[in-house]
Amino acid sequence: MTQYVFAPAGAKACRNNWFRIGIEYIGSKQGGVGSAYSKGKRYIRAKLNCSGRAISRSCSVCDKYFNHLYQQYGPDVYFFHKEWCSQIVDLVISYLSDHQNDPSLPQIFVQKNYRDIFNDTYLSRYNQLHWVENTNYRDQGEDAEKIYKALTQLL
């Protein structure tokens, strides 16, 4: 059994990399060696004890051809880790909302509360997960419902 639920990512115009920018911001505030993104991933892994792949997949769009109707929905999908998705999202958005007074905070996050940052960074993924739950796409509806409810509790 897989650790992830996947959902078609939809049109490229509806996607953004703001969640990844949030992880890079976290990494820019950490010591150590490597890129800001890798330091941000290490920070999240240390806080949550989750895998780096779960973090990477929380902010990227991946190609998927097998066990996916890619001819109908396109090859790009979002992945949601069944166990860690909501905790990763909560940690990143909480960190961003707690550092509103930092002058190096990227402009896209300035003067926003938790819900606004969630809407800007994760809403399209959240909506696609809800679609998977409602349509039971590829028999993932039950798992998608659990993740969706966990993300809803964050709001």
Res 70: pLDDT: 81
Res 15: pLDDT: 76
State phi, psi for 3 to the nearest 5 degrees. -90, -5
Token pair listed for 140: 């993932």
Query: Per the structure, how many domains does the chain have?
Result: 1
Res 132: pLDDT: 95
Token pair listed for 55: 């973090």
Query: Domain of 44?
Result: 4-154
CA distance 117 to 111: 10
Q: Strands, E, within the chain: which ranges?
A: 4-8, 62-63, 76-81
CA distance 139 to 19: 27
Res 149: pLDDT: 97
Which residues of the chain are modeled with pLDDT < 50? none
Q: Summarize pLDDT for 122-138 with one digit per residue, the tens.
A: 999 999 999 999 999 99
